[in-house]
Structure 1
Amino acid sequence: MAIILLFSGISPMLSYRHGYHAGNYADVLKHAILLQVLKAMHKKDKAFVYVDTHAGAGAYSLEDEFAQKTGEYLDGVAKLWDKTDLPLALKDYVAAVKTFNAEQDELSLYPGSPAFVDSELRPQDRMVLHELHGTDHELLSDYFAKDRQVKVIKGDGLAGLIAAVPPLERRGVVLIDPSFEIKTDYQDVADAIIKAHKRFSTGVFMLWYPVVDREQTEAMLSKLKNSGITKQLRLEQGIKTDSNEFGMTAAGLWIINPPWQLDELAKDSLDYLAKTLGGIDGHVTVKWEVGE
């Protein structure tokens, strides 16, 4: 198994801050699946690299003004906090968040993608984190200041992705989840993944995507689907019917070269999330968009 790419970050506008959305329903799906991908990587002793194109601040306080202003985590991770009937992927996810909050013994902090990965990093593994937003880059650098396994880069994550592949380890995880603040982000992301895949065709690419404008999102995903790349899996959770109104109606992961049985683990989790976090008009999708 090779690299996994997930993109979560800042456009050149530099206005997006993930602290407003930390721990929401989209984060639940993204991080639960990310953890399972990392656990799959552990099945081989050989080292891997994790590359995050838009890493954010690393971790977030759910008690600060960002999280309290939106309260999105209350309809996300908070609803799973005390559940005792969670399927495997969600059980591992909640356990990881609880470990991160061990000192407080309550839900007050939320780990970003780099912090989740840090908890799964073995001595032979490493991380390469890109973040363009000045404040978040500083916070991220401080968070990993003493960790020699982690390299934090201030710059364009999509360009950084191309430079990062193929890795010397020949295995890895890359997370791609931009903010998609401007329309060109959608096509830029698809182009970057296709280019990166040409350089590293055995990589596992995980793209996080929002559904704000369904037509716009599907145009990006169709470009990937029709690129000639094989083994492309869609995982999506919608909380309401798509519309032209402001706000995200669904979010998902588009995964190229997913680990074996990830689709089954994801289906169990999404079916559970549909009844726990989904609205009355919600939906879930687990679909192989492109086979072998």
Structure 2
Amino acid sequence: MNYRHAYHAGNFADVIKHAVLAQAVTALTRKETPFFVLDTHAGCGAYRLSAEAAQKTGEFKTGIARVLERAGDAPPALAPYLAALAAANPGGGLDHYPGSPALVRGLMRPQDRLALAELHPEDVVALRRTFAGDRRVGIHHLDGYQTVKALLPPPERRGLVLIDPPFERTDEFERLLTALGRIHRRWPQAIVLVWYPIKAAEPVDAFLDAVAAAGGPETVAVELLLRPATDPFRLNGSGLLVVNPPWGLAPALAELLPWLAGVLAPDQGSFRVRPLIAEAAGRV
């Protein structure tokens, strides 16, 4: 319960996570039928970068601030993410940062739904304030992993689950594996995005090996490294597991990853897309 994303909003990990999330939600809007999104660890939903928490760490300065400085030569695949940032700051500049909930809501249509789970009591209050009056958005004061059982499958056939845990617990990778298995059984056609930190390489490799061994739909791991993954006490990179990657994501990643690595970590930055499970028939 100590983790507060307000201190880390707009950092390099948010940039890659939200750029891919924007691509995935945009892909869902290509069909007229409604979709459902579940965000299991929603945080506050939206953030002020001028607030004390963000200013205390200044992490956004080496994340989204660098991206906006180079926005003029950004690849087309970054456009949905940049559009969300512009919508959050209609007067220009960079003060409001849309977390995953605000980003998704900005891309949704009237027929789509969003469920947000958050355990921290203060952050739940912030979520309810941010999304008050929007009937498309449901707020749940729950451990996010419980919502995988409680809210899935939804009536909508199409949609996405975002799991973005704080990694305060030593068994977080094990909890993720359990959640992934449950989602696959309950809603096998869902796009699933799972964020994970990269410190030392060994725990991440063990997690990804376990995902591959479990089988299931097409799955890839998207990773952006600021530096080699050799220090277990430092956040060296950010990963995103993508289950059922939507059509068009592969070419978008081919644009996004080299550009982001060059902007966010010009000296030691690297990236890779790691195929874990081969493509299955059909796409969402």
TM-score (norm 1): 0.92
Output the CA distance in 2 between the equivalents of 1:202 and 1:49: 12
Tell me, yes or no, if the aligned pair for 1:263 and 1:286 is still in contact at 8 Å. Answer: no
Output the CA distance in 1 between the equivalents of 2:157 and 2:183: 13
Q: Runs of 4+ in structure 1 displaced over 6 angstroms?
A: none
Answer yes or no: is 1:94 the counterpart of 2:82: yes
Give the match for residue 180 of structure 1: 167
Q: Name the SS of the counterpart of 1:84 in structure 2.
A: helix
Identity of aligned residues (%): 40
- Report the AA paired with residue 178 of structure 1: P
Tell me, yes or no, if the aligned pair for 1:236 and 1:285 is still in contact at 8 Å. Answer: yes
Give the match for residue 73 of structure 2: 85
1:26-65 maps to which residues of 2 (within 5 A)? 26-65=13-52
Give the match for residue 93 of structure 2: 106
Unaligned runs of 5+ in 1: 1-13
Q: Deviations over 1:168-187 (max 9, x none)?
A: 11111111110111111111
In terms of mean alpha carbon deviation, does 195-204 or 268-277 score higher? 195-204
Output the CA distance in 1 between the equivalents of 2:61 and 2:200: 24
Instruction: Kindly report the root-mean-square deviation, in angstroms, between the aligned alpha carbons of the 2 structures.
Output: 1.2
Q: Deviations over 1:95-147 (max 9, x none)?
A: 210210113x2101101100001111111111110000011111001111111
Unaligned runs of 5+ in 2: 280-284
Q: Deviations over 1:50-72 (max 9, x none)?
A: 10000000111101111111111
TM-score (norm 2): 0.94
Give the match for residue 240 of structure 1: 227
Tell me, yes or no, if the aligned pair for 1:128 and 1:153 is still in contact at 8 Å. Answer: yes
CA positional deviation for 1:213: 3.3
Compared CA separation, residues 166 and 45, structure 1 to 2 (3 A)? same
- Report the AA paired with residue 77 of structure 2: A
Q: Name the SS of the counterpart of 1:90 in structure 2.
A: helix
Tell me, yes or no, if the aligned pair for 2:226 and 2:236 is still in contact at 8 Å. Answer: yes
Tell me, yes or no, if the aligned pair for 1:267 and 1:286 is still in contact at 8 Å. Answer: no
The number of equivalent residue pairs is 278
Output the CA distance in 2 between the equivalents of 1:93 and 1:261: 16
